[in-house]
Amino acid sequence: MTTTGSAERPATDLGFLLHKHPGKAQAFSTAHGTAHVFYPEADDSRCTAALLLEVDPVALVRRARGKGRGGAPDSALAQYVNDRPYAASSLLAVALSTVFASAMKGQCKARPELPAQPLPLHVALPAVPARGGAGLVRRLFEPLGWTVRAEPVPLDETFPEWGDSRYVRLGLEGERTVADALRHLYVLLPVLDDAKHYWVSPDEVDKLLRAGEGWLEDHPEQKLIADRYLARRRTLTRDALERLELARLAEADDTAAEEIDNAVEESADTEERPVPLAVRRRETILGVLREAKAARVLDLGCGPGQLLGELLKEGQFTDIVGMDVSMRALQEARRRLRLDRMPERQSERLRLVQGSLAYTDARLKGYDAAVLSEVVEHVDPPRLSALEYAVFGAARPRTVVVTTPNVEYNVRWESLPAGHVRHGDHRFEWTRAEFRAWAGEVAGRHGYEVEFRPVGPDDPEVGPPTQLAYFRQAEPASARTPAAPATPAPADSPAKEAQA
Amino acid sequence: MTGATSVPAPTRRPLGVPDLCLVVLVGATGSGKSTFAARHFKPTEVLSSDFCRGLVSDDENDQSASGDAFEVLHYIAAKRLAAGRRTVVDATNVQPEARAQLVKLAREHDVLPVAVVLDLPEEVCAERNAARADRAGMPRRVIQRHQRELRRSLRHLEREGFRKVHVLKGVEQVEAAEIVTERRFNDLRHLAGPFDIVGDIHGCRSELETLLARLGYEVEYDALGRAVDARHPQGRTAVFVGDLVDRGPDSPGVLRLVMGMTAAGHGLCVPGNHENKLGRYLKGRKVQHSHGLAETVAQLEGEDEAFRGEVAAFIEGLVSHYVLDGGALVVCHAGLPEKYHGRTSGRVRSFALYGDTTGETDEFGLPVRYPWAEEYRGRAAVVYGHTPTPRASWLNNTICLDTGCVFGGRMTALRWPERELVDVPAEQVWYEPAKPLASEAPGGADGRPLDLGDVAGRRVVETRHMGRVAVKEENAAAALEVMSRFAVDPRLLPYLPPTMAPCATSKEDGYLEHPAEAFASYRADGVREVVCEEKHMGSRAVVLVCRDEAAARERFGAAAGVSGAVCTRTGRPFFDDPAVTEQVLKSVREAVESAGLWAELADPAAAGSGHWLLLDAELLPWSLKASGLLRGQYAAVGAASGAAFPGALDALEAAAARGVEVPDLLARQRERAVDAAAFTEAYRRYCWPVDGLDGVRLAPFQILAAPGRSLAAVPHDEQLAWLDRLVEHDGTGLLRRTGRLVVDTEDEASVAAGVRWWLDLTAAGGEGMVVKPLGALVRKGDGRLVQPGVKCRGREYLRIIYGPEYTRPENLDRLRVRHLGHKRSLALREYALGLEALDRLADGEPLWRVHEAVFAVLALESEPVDPRL
């Protein structure tokens, strides 16, 4: 941090403001290493104070690796190959607040008039991790009156094709008080990094309000700052917004917090947009299941359980199984459906199990219907035959409902670049003809009849956004079902022997 | 069996009670049941209805609580019986309904119900009740009613299902009673063998004599030259799994020999279904003379009546199964689930004789059998026969020894506890099988689709090289997700590579790993010759290459256009584009072809469906697969440090120039800057741009398998010679040779040369080396596997692992505290599983059996272990 001055107002006043003598090098021990303060230059016209945080990399890793409460929230900290010793992160922010505590509060016993005076300041940080790049750095600092210089650091000049790293070389210039500058950095460095080395506790809200006093209230990126500063803990975010909201009530009457809260909930929904398509899909599936008079239903690949929630609402479905291969998805489903707080009569209708359609599974036998909603496109084509056998050959529910995107419709998505699939994990997306061909062969091989239904607006040219196949077991039971033994048991069958 | 304790005094009345059974006391209120139970049984064995009434209602005499009280009593009794503990029910039990529930409970747990009746005069009961404050008010008619019900019951107890009934009339008899605990007939846990367990014989007397001789038995003959006994000089015991008779040429001869051996105490025998049927025939019952009984009946015509009588008595006396060797071994004819071990009931006998039949018959008219062994998870090894299979092999700690001798197969015996198989071939086909042998290997026919039960949940995989390897449920859950969502078709994934432990941590100045440690530890394990192999810094790749698409389709069920697979260490396809995979395979295929290795490596008998090879290799450059990691972590750290240090050093130098005291700090920051630059240099060496296959290199270091053979135990010098030929014949420049040096761990000069070789290799930018026993699959003196290899990574390379500044002395000191135990154990378990997968593949076992081992490797990879090791 550099300031300029003159004989009347010497630049070395910076030493008083920071409570650190320009003639000395001082060391302060912090939780993750030693913070050194020294002055590379100090005369009346120009004074630079430098803070160098010497992180102990081994201690950092060892501390981060503890389990549960002992460990760090940021799993990257447990890596020995770690940018923390070099980048300006929350470690530096904490060091700033420790070493320059009085300066940050705007206190100066020796020269009480000094802290309130804005100074011409220049702040330089060589490596600031910025999720959002130089653009976000500007959006965060410029509204605070800083002239921002943010140059991206290339990842590796030997491999220019790798592009830029997430670090920027940051320079800030402006007329601000030292306290403001420190508080801006204290809040915005971890926000740019979007990570913290410590667990965020409820008093973090107070810290943010304290350090943000006087500038955060009107910051255009206030929501992003609060979100990231509080490490995306939703309940805390809401808490902070409401309290900021209360602080602003003196000035304006606003009720936006609730809506923002809703948006947070909604954005946690993993379904692709527009959301009405997901709703439309569930409606169509439910319609088919009602029509099929299914009572015992499998939701194979249930994800976070949106369809399960709808199934539970209808008494017709007496026995519902949600299966997914991802434990995380099941955990999310359990949380979203509030399974642990559900009345017993309702919760006993539902079972969540981990399973995989790459394997046959005896637990899936004897159901009325199975739904595979947006599942097949997540399976590599060479392994579709295993899925086919597991569902149609082994589990053999009376009814099977399969939905999958119609790739022809993709041209109607404005946000989707040409040739892109709708979701990063889609292994393929089928045209209507491809889907019908596959479904027809499956039905033929396993003794089902199949019909197709559109989901969403049926575009005359490219068809509906989602396509649905409704399989019903052909009557009478096909020859594929294992025939009952026709021959009588031989004389030495155990049934007879057992009685002997 | 009775009277094993002291000789009873004349007034004593011994009552035999098996060591596992449900004892039901029957008697009116006041007849002294509780006193009797307390005198003769352990307090924990006795469940009293009064006590249970107290448990649920706080009042032992509250008759309204009886319903709940008996539910509790039955529940506890069920738990005890399931755990194999004798249980005594202390309740009046004078009503048939009450007893029927208990008989049912005993049957459900396959134990014998035993009744002990205390029939005391009404006066005595009334007197005793009067002496108890809580029962003094009990009306006399209650006792009278109990007595009436008791008398009515007495005659029916055996018909109700009680297998033993002891009635004690009057006070004297009750006083004189003494419980004598009897061992169950099937309980031979006190016999520790050693045993030789012999599979199905079916009248093949000559092969049996040959097999016994092979096992070291001396066969004795009678005056007519007939084998009548066989004795092992070291006192081993033969155990026959049954089916001695039918179909074969000399069933009476087999019976004579086995009966002689059991009578002389040289053998044990359990009954097979064929003995059972023969026994019924001999008793004059009407049975169909099918499945080879006709032959036995005809052969017995030539024997005298006395012999036939002895046979009938022998069969009559056979016990369904035996529990041997402290409970570690169970022998029976057709298999037995754990809950039936040591139990006694009709259904246990039926299972032991016939296995788990579904009641259906197959197209050959034979009963359809449920593959019970697939689900067996018990601790005791179950050795059985009954189902002819081409080869005896362990499955979930069970083994079927019926290798179809009578059908022209082999007669097989298992040495216990050595677990060695000994077999002799059939002299001829004595009987045409109703259906081909090959299709009924344990676990069902080949081609059964993979089932979730093969992989999910907590599992134990039997390995021939390391015994049972356990997989935890949470690890299996993680593996299920990766295997299902990201891996290639399991048919193309017959192997996953094990993790490898580093050498012990070095105390050498400036080093964390040093080859001296590797040589020393192998020397300590008794391994003299080791090979040092250059470690290529890329990504692990398992390459399955088939000679053509037809072979891939035939052997691995590959789809059209697929001639093999190139997988990462978690089974994911290495290349997103299948065309690139095929290009790699084409280059490898041509090199194999030109080197002439297809036919050289395959077992000719197994190569019928086409040639293929499975290779373990490293694919380079590292940046090809790890670009995400490189950009997100490694290059990022390089970029941050590269940006941070110049400014910091400038500032410190300026301060120093002003006379501020910063020399230590400045010196230290300069060193850190040098370390950071060295780190950037370290990862850069393993990155280079590729375009399609241009720039890609494949360094194979082991050929794992070829048709019908696992090559994992082939010594590394032989392996490397094959691989050198492969590299020489590679016309495309894809394949890279692996540098190597053989070191004698006992020779100081050789060890020094090994260290020098490593120093040169790593100084030139190499990652390091792997030290392996030259003999590949090597065991220590105590029989345990030695590590198949340990890695010694170079000093500079380790910056990528332990961070740029790890070489600073204060950091090294702390980093030396690292715990290798778990990593080593993990490496060995995964190695054993990998070997098992290869062995199963070589033996042509069904897909699910190979996949079980492969899946377990993946699951173990998700165990928490220090990722830097």
Nearest chain B residue (CA) to A378: B485
Q: What is the per-residue pLDDT for B630?
A: 82
Q: Cα B354 vs. chain centroid, distance in angstroms?
A: 24
For A21, nearest residue in chain B (alpha carbons): B660
Per-residue model confidence (pLDDT) at position A494: 37
The whole-angstrom distance between B20's CA and the closest CA on chain A is 22
Residues 6+ apart with CB under 8 A from B330: B321, B322, B323, B324, B336, B341, B380, B381, B382, B383
DSSP class of residue A145 equals T
**Which residue of chain A is at minimal alpha-carbon distance from B653?**
A40
Q: Do A498 and B350 touch (CB under 8 A)?
A: yes
Q: A428 — contact with chain B (CB < 8 Å)?
A: no
> CB-based contact (8 Å) between A159 and chain B?
yes
Which string of DSSP letters, residue by residue, matches B348-368?
A: HHHHHHH-SEEEEE-TTSPEE
Query: Average pLDDT in the B232-237 region?
Result: 95
Q: Do A487 and B634 touch (CB under 8 A)?
A: no
pLDDT tier, B385 (very low <50, low <70, confident <90, very high otherwise):
very high
Q: In chain B, which residues have their Cβ closer than 8 Å to the Cβ of A159?
A: 635, 687, 689
Each residue's pLDDT tens digit, A379-389: 999 999 999 99
Burial of B758 (0-12, 13-18, 19+ CB in 10 A): buried
Q: Do A52 and B665 touch (CB under 8 A)?
A: yes
CA B476 to chain centroid, in Å, comes to 16
A contacts of B354 (beta carbons < 8 Å): 493-494, 497
Question: Cβ of B361 under 8 Å from any chain A Cβ?
Answer: yes
What average pLDDT does this structure show over A87-106? 90
State yes or no: pLDDT of B217 exceeds 90: yes
Are the C-beta atoms of residues A52 and B672 closer than 8 Å to each other?
no
Selection from A100, A110, A83, A91 nearest residue A49 by Cα? A100
| Whole-number Cα distances in Å, A346 to A89, A420, B434 | 48, 41, 54
Res. A272: pLDDT tops 80:
no
B868 with A80: Cβ contact below 8 A: yes
Least confident of A475-489, B570-584, B599-613, B817-831: A475-489
Residue of B nearest to A126 (CA): B644
Q: What gap in Å lies between CA B662 and CA B439, rounded to an integer?
A: 82
What's the mean pLDDT when you consider all of chain A? 82
Q: What is the pLDDT of residue B445?
A: 39
> 3-state class of B384 per DSSP?
strand
- Best mutation target among B481, B671, B679 (most A Cβ atoms within 10 Å) is B481
Q: What is the pLDDT of residue B361?
A: 67
Structural fold of domain A275-473: Rossmann fold (3.40.50)
Window B:660-679, CB contacts with A under 8 Å: 660-662, 665, 668-669, 676, 679
A2-199 fold? c-terminal autoproteolytic domain of nucleoporin nup98 (3.30.1610)
Mean pLDDT calculated for residue range A134-151: 94
Across the interface, whether the CB atoms of A497 and B273 are under 8 A apart is answered yes
Whether ipTM tops 0.85, in short, is no
Contact A167/B640, CB-based, under 8 Å? yes
Tell if the CB–CB gap between A39 and B804 is shorter than 8 Å.
Answer: no
Element (H, E) at B77: helix B66-82
Straight-line distance from the first to the last Cα atom of chain A, in angstroms, rounded to the nearest whole number: 98
pLDDT tens for residues A281-325?
A: 999 999 999 999 999 999 999 988 999 999 999 999 999 999 999
- Characterize A387-410 residue by residue with b for buried, 16 or more Cβ atoms within 10 angstroms of its Cβ, and e for exposed: bbbbbbbbbbbbbbbbbbbbbbbb
Burial of A271 (0-12, 13-18, 19+ CB in 10 A): middle
Span of A241-245, B371-375, B409-413 with lowest mean pLDDT: A241-245
Which pLDDT value is given to residue B1? Answer: 43
> How many Cβ atoms are within 10 Å of B119's Cβ, its own excluded?
18
Query: Closest Cα to residue B135, out of B50, B22, B235?
Result: B50
> Is the CB of residue B378 less than 8 Å from the CB of residue B397?
yes
Rounded to a whole number of angstroms, the distance from the CA of A85 to the nearest CA of chain B is: 8
pLDDT exceeds cutoff 70 at B357: yes
Answer whether residue A105 shows pLDDT above 70: yes
Any residues with CB less than 8 A from the CB of B735 and at least 6 apart, and which?
B587, B588, B591, B697, B698, B699, B700, B726, B727
Q: What is the mean pLDDT of chain B?
A: 90
DSSP B185-228: TTEETT----EEEE---TT-HHHHHHHHHHTTPEEEE-TTS-EE
Report the residue of chain A nearest B293, measured CA to CA.
Answer: A492
| B contacts of A492 (beta carbons < 8 Å) | 273, 276-277, 287-288, 290-291
pLDDT at residue A477 is higher than 90: no
Give the pLDDT score at B234.
94
Is pLDDT above 90 for B190? Answer: yes
Distances (CA, A) of B284 to B279, B287, B308, B312: 9, 9, 12, 11
Q: Which of A436-440, B1-5, B217-221 has the lowest mean pLDDT?
A: B1-5
Cβ of residue B688 closer than 8 Å to a chain A Cβ: no
The residue of chain B with its CA nearest to that of A2 is B651
**Which residue in the block uniquely carries the two structure tokens 């419709």?**
A409
Query: The tokens of B224 are what?
Result: 């007519």
At A275, is the pLDDT very low, low, confident or very high (cuts 50, 70, 90)?
Answer: low
- The amino acid at residue B350 is S
- pLDDT for B363 equals 61
CB-closest option in A162, A393, A490 to B365 = A490
Flag whether pLDDT at A248 surpasses 60.
no
- According to the model, what pLDDT value does residue B360 have? 67
Q: State whether B273 and A83 contact (CB < 8 Å).
A: no
Query: By the CB < 8 Å criterion, does B687 face chain A?
Result: yes
Burial class (CB in 10 A: 0-12, 13-18, 19+), A235: exposed
Which residues lie closer than 8 Å to B279 by C-beta, 6 or more apart?
Answer: B271, B312, B315, B316
Residue of B nearest to A324 (CA): B481
Strand-pair category, B112-119 with B21-26: parallel
List b or e across B327-365, with b for residues whose CB sees 16 or more CB atoms inside 10 angstroms: ebbbbbbbbbbeebbbbbbeebbbbbbbbbbeebbbeee
Strand pairing report for B740-744 and B529-535? antiparallel
The model's pLDDT over B703-738, given as tens digits with 9 standing for 90+, comes to: 999 999 999 999 999 999 999 999 999 999 999 999
Q: Is A154 on the interface with B (CB under 8 A)?
A: yes
Q: What is the mean pLDDT of residues A113-132?
A: 91
pLDDT tens sequence across A207-232? 888 899 889 989 999 989 988 888 75
Q: Is the pLDDT of residue B845 over 90?
A: no
Nearest neighbour of A25 by CB, restricted to B481, B662, B815: B662
A327-348 mean pLDDT:
85
Report residue B359's pLDDT band, with 50, 70 and 90 as the boundaries.
low
- Cβ–Cβ gap B489/A383 under 8 Å: yes
| A337: amino acid identity, one letter | L
Note whether A67 contacts B: Cβ–Cβ < 8 A. Answer: no
Distance from CA of A495 to the nearest CA of B (A): 8
Task: Say which residue the tokens 């040589």 belong to.
Answer: B519
What SS3 class is residue B681? Answer: helix
For residue B190, the number of C-alpha atoms closer than 13 Å in the C-beta half-sphere is 4
Strands B13-18 and B177-182, by their bridges, are: parallel
What is d(CA B838, CA B407) in angstroms, rounded to the nearest whole number? 29
Around Cβ B628, how many Cβ atoms within 10 Å?
A: 8
pLDDT at A249: 27
- Are A491 and B456 inside 8 Å of each other by CB? no
Say if residues B563 and B851 touch (Cβ distance below 8 Å).
no
Across B836-854, average pLDDT: 90
* Mean local confidence (pLDDT), B26-51: 94
Separation between Cα atoms, residue B406 and residue B84, nearest integer Å: 39
B635: contact with A, CB 8 A cutoff:
yes
Backbone angles phi, psi at B404, to 5 degrees: 60, 45
Tell whether A483 lies on the interface with B, counting CB pairs under 8 A: no
Share of chain B above pLDDT 70, in %: 96
Which bin fits B455, alpha (ψ -120 to 50), beta or left (φ > 0)?
Answer: alpha
With CA atoms as reference, report the closest residue to B492 among B539, B593, B562, B581: B562
pLDDT category at B444 given cuts 50, 70, 90 is very low
Return d(Cα A41, Cα B658) in angstroms, integer: 7
Nearest to B488 by CA among B578, B588, B620: B578
Q: What is the pLDDT of residue B611?
A: 95
In this structure, what token pair is assigned to residue B776?
């590949």
**Counting every residue, how long is chain A?**
500
B193/A contact by beta carbon, under 8 A? no
Lowest mean pLDDT among A172-176, B241-245, B393-397, B630-634: B393-397
Give the pLDDT score at A418: 74
pLDDT of residue B608: 74
Asked if A156 lies within 8 A of B680 by C-beta distance, the reply is yes
Task: Tell me if chain B has a CB within 8 Å of the CB of A161.
Answer: yes
pLDDT-derived band at B631 (thresholds 50, 70, 90) equals: confident
- At B436 the pLDDT is 61
80-139 in A: which are within 8 Å (CB) of B? 80-83, 85-87, 124, 126-127, 129
* B557, amino acid identity: G
Between residues A391 and B866, which one has the greater pLDDT?
A391
Please determine, for residue A237, whether its predicted confidence score (pLDDT) is greater than 50: no
Is residue B834 predicted with pLDDT exceeding 90?
A: yes
pLDDT above 50 (res A259): no
Give the residue from A310, A324, A318 showing the smallest Cα distance to A281.
Answer: A310
In this predicted structure, the answer to whether residue A68 has a pLDDT above a threshold of 50 is no
- Is A41 in Cβ contact with B640 (below 8 Å)? no
CA-nearest residue to B807 within chain A is: A58
What is the distance of C-alpha B398 from the center of its chain? 8
**Total Cβ atoms within 10 A of residue B477:** 18
The stretch B417-426 carries a mean pLDDT of 90
Closest residue in chain A to residue B687, using alpha carbons only: A159
Cβ atoms of residues A161 and B689 within 8 Å: yes
Residue with the bigger pLDDT between B691 and B520: it is B520
- CB of A40 less than 8 A from some CB of B: yes
Kindly tell me if the per-residue pLDDT of A72 is higher than 90.
no
Phi, psi of B43 (to 5 degrees): -55, -35
Q: At what angle do helices B515-524 and B748-763 cross, to 10 degrees?
A: 140
> What pLDDT shows up at residue A26?
92
Domain extent listing, chain A? 2-199, 275-473
Lowest-confidence range among A395-409, B72-86, B802-816?
B802-816
pLDDT in the model for residue B606: 77
Tokens of B490: 């399991």
What are the E-state strand segments in A14-156?
A: 26-30, 33-42, 46-55, 119-129, 147-154
Model pLDDT, residue A240: 39
User: How many CB atoms sit inside 10 A of residue A171's CB?
Assistant: 16
Three-class SS state of B269: strand
The pLDDT, as a whole number, for residue A478 is 41
How crowded is the C-beta side of B176, counted as CA atoms within 13 Å?
15
Reported as a pLDDT band with limits 50, 70 and 90, residue B523 is: very high
CA distance B336 to B354: 10
Instruction: With CA atoms as reference, report the closest residue to B495 among B851, B848, B170, B198.
Output: B851
Chain B CB contacts of A360 under 8 Å are 449-452
Burial label, A6 (beta-carbon count in 10 A; 0-12, 13-18, 19+): exposed
